[in-house]
Amino acid sequence: MSGDRRYEGYLLLADISGYTAFLTGTELEHAHAIIRELTKLIRSRLAPPMKFVKLEGDAVFCYADVAAFADGERFVELIEVCYFDFANRLQDMTRATTCKCDACKAIPSLGLKFVTHFGSFMIEEDDDGREDLAGPDVILVHRLLKNAISDGAGPQAYAFFTDGCMRRMPTWFSLPRHSETYDSFGEVTGGVYDLQPMLEERRAARRVYLSAEDADFDGRFETAFAPEVVWQYFVDPEKRLRWQPGQTAVTAEPNPAGRMGAGASTHCAHGEGTADGLREYLDWRPFSYFTNRYISLRNGNEGAFLAAMETTEFTPLDGGGTAVTMRIRIEDRSESELRRFLEHEESANMRKLFHLAWIPLNKAIEEDGFLPAEAVAPNGD
Ligand SMILES: [Zn+2]
């Protein structure tokens, strides 16, 4: 069976490097177990929001429809987190093994690279109902795996974005140029993102996390969608606006690096008669949690919300859904202010709104074509 519908979207291959040398060693059993664990990790970090197509030896092939990432930064973030978790897992495996076999000794020599292209493709279904992709752009993204990016002093861990993909990216994302020539495609140009500095930066980033014990407000709801999907609907202003009750406008101010992350902020308006709010992000851990400071802005209604720290956490549930937890700690710890928060209808109102937020959130996510991992009943506090 072959579908004639053409799709447009992101094509991504995540390829474990050092794999051939690794598997030609003698300790095949350990080598295979290590590769299996790493491939499983890569798959789980990319899909969803991407759709897994298949394993191709040491490479994971997946794609996403153009609508899956309203903002290209979320796609970059997905690759960054996948590499971050991969590199950390390698480090853990290296530290944990006491085995002296060739395979286990060679774990640190494994690496991960990504090649990605934005283009069109057809989705074909085989007799078992499994999807596969076809078309010239699909061939091209596979050809990209053979390249000279790591030659000489080139980066070992990288993501290569073709120009087709770069055009979907935010303006801050400018990369060193690279070009390759392939039979029947000619010259293919794009940008190379060195993942090593990103890894070091993420490892060094300060942790700011509000625990349940320290919180004055602790709200929780569940949704059937994966954390990587739900995350977008909290951090993308347009997406957040579509579901968050009481919100009339959200605008984002990126950090000095041009990113949404620590140092970035969002400004939310809540309409006539209420104060606007400013969220300044202090810690940014996609797709696990973010922590921000929240303050009221002066627009004639200042003081309507108390200055606070907030942690919004995304916990994966068995079956693929997400528990979203929001914790708030009021900055002013005086008895009167705490009482004002706890007894004031502000917190009661917020509890009610937050408790029901999964309804419009699920609706927005469904409208964008994401499929729930499985039906999950709402379960708030
Ligand atoms: Zn071993």
Whether the link from the prior residue into 287 is cis, omega within 30° of 0, is: yes
The pLDDT of 294-300, averaged and rounded, is 75
Ligand 1 centre distance from Cα of residue 99 (Å): 5
pLDDT band at 298 (very low <50, low <70, confident <90, very high): low
Using one digit for the tens of pLDDT, what is the confidence trace for 145-171? Answer: 999 999 999 999 999 999 999 999 998
Ligand 1 centre distance from Cα of residue 205 (Å): 33
Ligand 1 centre distance from Cα of residue 85 (Å): 22
For residue 381, what pLDDT is reported?
A: 34
pLDDT at 342 over 90: no
- CA dist list (Å): 359 to 173, 218, 334, 355: 34, 19, 35, 9
Ligand 1 centre distance from Cα of residue 33 (Å): 9
DSSP string over 266-299: EEEE--TTS-EEEEEEEEEETTTEEEEEEEEE-S
User: Where would I find the H helices in the chain?
Assistant: 19-23, 28-46, 72-96, 102-105, 136-143, 163-166, 195-204, 227-235, 237-241, 335-343, 345-356, 358-367
> What is the distance between the alpha carbons of residues 192 and 177, in angstroms, rounded to a whole number?
6
Owner of token pair 């690096």: 257
> What is the distance between the alpha carbons of residues 260 and 77, in angstroms, rounded to a whole number?
10
Question: Which one, of 130, 121, 128, 124, lies nearest residue 1 by Cα?
Answer: 124
Ligand 1 centre distance from Cα of residue 380 (Å): 46
pLDDT at 345 over 70: no
For residue 371, what pLDDT is reported?
A: 84
Ligand 1 centre distance from Cα of residue 25 (Å): 11
> What is the distance between the alpha carbons of residues 203 and 197, in angstroms, rounded to a whole number?
10
Domains of the chain in sequence order: 2-203 (3.30.70.1230), 206-367 (3.30.530.20)
Ligand 1 centre distance from Cα of residue 200 (Å): 28
pLDDT at 270 over 80: no
Ligand 1 centre distance from Cα of residue 226 (Å): 34
Ligand 1 centre distance from Cα of residue 21 (Å): 15
For residue 379, what pLDDT is reported?
A: 38
pLDDT band at 127 (very low <50, low <70, confident <90, very high): confident
Ligand 1 centre distance from Cα of residue 154 (Å): 30
The pLDDT of 80-104, averaged and rounded, is 93
- Lowest-pLDDT choice from 42-56, 216-230, 241-255, 310-324: 241-255
Ligand 1 centre distance from Cα of residue 150 (Å): 28
For residue 273, what pLDDT is reported?
A: 67
The pLDDT of 311-336, averaged and rounded, is 93
pTM to 2 decimal places: 0.89
Q: For 46, left (φ over 0), alpha (ψ -120 to 50), or beta?
A: alpha
Using one digit for the tens of pLDDT, what is the confidence trace for 175-224? Answer: 999 999 999 999 999 999 999 999 999 999 999 999 999 999 899 999 99
Ligand 1 centre distance from Cα of residue 26 (Å): 10
For residue 378, what pLDDT is reported?
A: 40
pLDDT at 230 over 60: yes
Ligand 1 centre distance from Cα of residue 215 (Å): 45
User: At a CB cut-off of 8 Å and minimum separation 6, what does 76 contact?
Assistant: 159, 169, 173, 193
Ligand 1 centre distance from Cα of residue 179 (Å): 39
pLDDT at 301 over 80: no
Q: Which residues surround ligand 1, an ion (CB under 5 A)?
A: 30, 99, 101, 104
